[in-house]
Amino acid sequence: MLDINLIREDPEVVRTSMRVRQMDPAPVDAVLALDSERRVLLAQSEKLKAERNAVSKEIGRAKDSAGREARIEAMRSVGDQIAVLDDQLREVDGKLHEAISIIPNIPDPSVPVGPDEHGNVVIRTVGEPRTFDFTPRPHWELGVDLGIINFDQGVKITGSRFYVLSGAGARLQRAIIAFFLDLHIRQGYREQYTPFMVKSETLFGSGQLPKFRDNLYKDHEEDLWMVPTAEVPLTGLHMDEILDEARLPLRYTAYTPCFRREKMSAGRDVRGIKRGHQFDKVEMYIYAKPEESQAEHARMLADAEETCRALGLTYRVVQQCTGDLSFASHITYDLEVWAPGVGEWLEVSSVSNVGDFQARRANIKYRPADGGRTRYLHTLNGSGLGMPRTLIAVMENYQTKEGSIQVPEVLSPWMGGIDRISIP
RNA sequence: GGAGGGAUGGCCGAGUGGCCUAUGGCGCCUGUCUUGAAAACAGGUGUGGGGCAACCCACCGGGGGUUCGAAUCCCUCUCCCUCCGCCA
């Protein structure tokens, strides 16, 4: 959520930011109109309340019943006026909140302007795409032949875009998750195990609601939603808190499954395990002081890159342009790994600094050590790699001519002696 | 699922309709005293909003209501505790 003062004082900055995001800036004008309407009503209501408070105090002190009755009668009508004004105020407040809630974060000035993902900029490529003396096969062939991915069973028990990992495939994914978590712990993040379901308020805090309701799964009778990313519960951990400056930065890591309806991507990436309604992810999350968030962003990006290097994957760092930048983000770098079987760079991580955008929505502040006013802090989030795509990259990069998969050395502690997955 | 009890400032805890619209204590900050510290004493110490300002408004778990006036009375929801039942 943006600061209402910013919208009030410099609406053109906000309009411009929406335009470069390929959005209609009309909500800005709605916010301005509602905001001035609100302030007029608020001033009227508060003036009457001040009067009522003062007179009510006199009534409490008054001894003569005649004076009391006259004042009580006068205040009755003042009370009625206040009720009318407060009803209007409530309505305007609700509309204002709704309008300001759908305005996206302002991109950092360094974010390249572009229409969509085609405007993203490759910052650097690390490693060379692996060469093969045979034609590398896609994971959906390898996985089925090796008996470690079963698409039919996923569809049978749940539906399209679901699959089952079996035997060494399931174990390989678990090994990658455990490896990532342990790596992030060494990098200085504290592991969290959170609920996988959250209430609406929590989703509002991280920015998924109200705008992206259609992409979420919801319990049909309770106020409970399945998390689309660990970023949601991790933002919620300190909702409505004022943290002491000495506690910052707070660095968390969490494994969660992620649930997404993928309504906007119907028909895309239908083959394989690249885009499912359920996938696993290990996330990094940082609460930082504003002046430190840029350095923390660089650190988090380096920590995410380390996961790719440790797995021996060729990757590139891509900066998202304004047209691709997610709703809450101020600046985002993606990590894309090369998958030779499907022949494409797969987005396995997005590392974002959202500034105070989520902190405002979730009401998370900190108290400076010098005792100054409380301030909103900054939050950052980044995947320590999303699972199915990392799994795809590992399978396709480590495949052999015989159709088996060599297990990366770093995963051996979790693989129980399996160093190669072969056709049974 | 049933019955009962709770939720008040950083923490503990008083407050059942006006009498400073939150007593008191702990903690914290400042000052006095002291070579310094402790102790003692005095003062201060929540969040948000509106206003150039003086100041005003709101907030006692959330929401709604009664009243001239609500932390206090009523309704409702959430969460916590105790007991009973059921159960992975």
Is residue A156 in some structural domain? yes
pLDDT averaged over every residue in chain A: 91
Handedness of CA A319, A323, A326, A328 (dihedral sign): positive
pLDDT score, position A62: 67
Q: Is A293 a catalytic residue?
A: no
Identify whether A249 is preceded by a cis peptide bond (ω within 30 of 0).
Answer: yes
Question: Does A242 share its domain with A275?
Answer: yes
Asked if strand B contacts A50 at the CB level, meaning under 7 A, the answer is yes
Q: Which residue has the higher pLDDT, A285 or A209?
A: A285
**Strand pairing partners for A241?**
A364
Is residue A112 in some structural domain? no
Q: Which residue has the higher pLDDT, A49 or A336?
A: A336
Is residue A106 in some structural domain? no
Pairing mode, if any, of strands A164-165 and A378-386? unpaired
Q: Is A8 a catalytic residue?
A: no
CA of A199 to C1' of B83 (A): 30
Query: Mean pLDDT throughout A399-420?
Result: 96
Question: Does A132 share its domain with A275?
Answer: yes
Asked if strand B contacts A271 at the CB level, meaning under 7 A, the answer is no
Asked if strand B contacts A126 at the CB level, meaning under 7 A, the answer is no
Note the pTM of the prediction, 2 decimals. 0.92
Asked if strand B contacts A48 at the CB level, meaning under 7 A, the answer is no
Question: Does A134 share its domain with A23?
Answer: no
- Three-state SS for chain A is CCCHHHHHHCHHHHHHHHHHCCCCCHHHHHHHHHHHHHHHHHHHHHHHHHHHHHHHHHHHHCCCHHHHHHHHHHHHHHHHHHHHHHHHHHHHHHHHHHHHHCCCCCCCCCCCCCCCHHHCEEEEEECCCCCCCCCCCCHHHHHHHCCCEEHHHHHHHCCCCCCEECCHHHHHHHHHHHHHHHHHHHCCCEEECCCCEECHHHHHHHCCCCCCHHHCCECCCCCCEECCCCHHHHHHCCCCEEEEHHHCCEEEEEEEEEECCCHHHCCCCCCCCCCCCEEEEEEEEEEECHHHHHHHHHHHHHHHHHHHHHCCCCEEEEECCCCCCCCCCCEEEEEEEEECCCCEEEEEEEEEECCCHHHHHHCEEEECCCCCCCEECEEEEEEEEEHHHHHHHHHHHCECCCCCEECCHHHHHHCCCCCEECCC
Question: Does A154 share its domain with A91?
Answer: no
Candidate list A21, A161, A251, A260, residue with the active-site label:
A260
Q: Write the pLDDT tens digit of every residue in A240-253.
A: 888 888 888 999 99
Considering A39, A71, A101, which residue would you say is the last residue of a domain?
A: A101
CA of A138 to C1' of B79 (A): 50
Whether residue A264 is predicted with pLDDT greater than 80 in this model: the reply is no
Is residue A392 in some structural domain? yes
Question: Does A219 share its domain with A264?
Answer: yes
CA of A290 to C1' of B43 (A): 35
Q: Which nucleotide is nearest to A75 (CA to C1')?
A: B68
Residue A332's pLDDT band, with cuts at 50, 70 and 90, is very high
Q: Write the pLDDT tens digit of every residue in A295-315.
A: 999 999 999 999 999 999 999
Considering A69, A101, A133, which residue would you say is the last residue of a domain?
A: A101
pLDDT score, position A371: 66
Range of the domain at A135: 117-421
CATH of the domain at A21: 1.10.287.40
Question: Does A238 share its domain with A359?
Answer: yes
Is residue A29 in some structural domain? yes
Asked if strand B contacts A373 at the CB level, meaning under 7 A, the answer is yes
Question: Does A246 share its domain with A290?
Answer: yes
Is residue A111 in some structural domain? no
CATH of the domain at A415: 3.30.930.10
Q: Write the pLDDT tens digit of every residue in A26-68.
A: 999 999 999 888 888 888 888 888 888 888 877 776 666 666 7
Q: Is A389 a catalytic residue?
A: yes
Is residue A239 in some structural domain? yes
Question: Does A97 share its domain with A126?
Answer: no
Is residue A57 in some structural domain? yes
Question: Does A263 share its domain with A410?
Answer: yes
Asked if strand B contacts A63 at the CB level, meaning under 7 A, the answer is no
Q: Write the pLDDT tens digit of every residue in A166-216.
A: 999 999 999 999 999 999 999 999 999 999 999 998 999 999 988 889 999
Question: Does A55 share its domain with A195?
Answer: no
Query: What nucleotides of chain B have any atom within 7 angstroms of a protein Cβ?
Result: 18-19, 21, 47-51, 56-58, 64, 67-69
Q: Which residue has the higher pLDDT, A126 or A49?
A: A126
Question: Does A131 share its domain with A82?
Answer: no
Total of domains in chain A: 2
Asked if strand B contacts A81 at the CB level, meaning under 7 A, the answer is no
Question: Does A92 share its domain with A138?
Answer: no
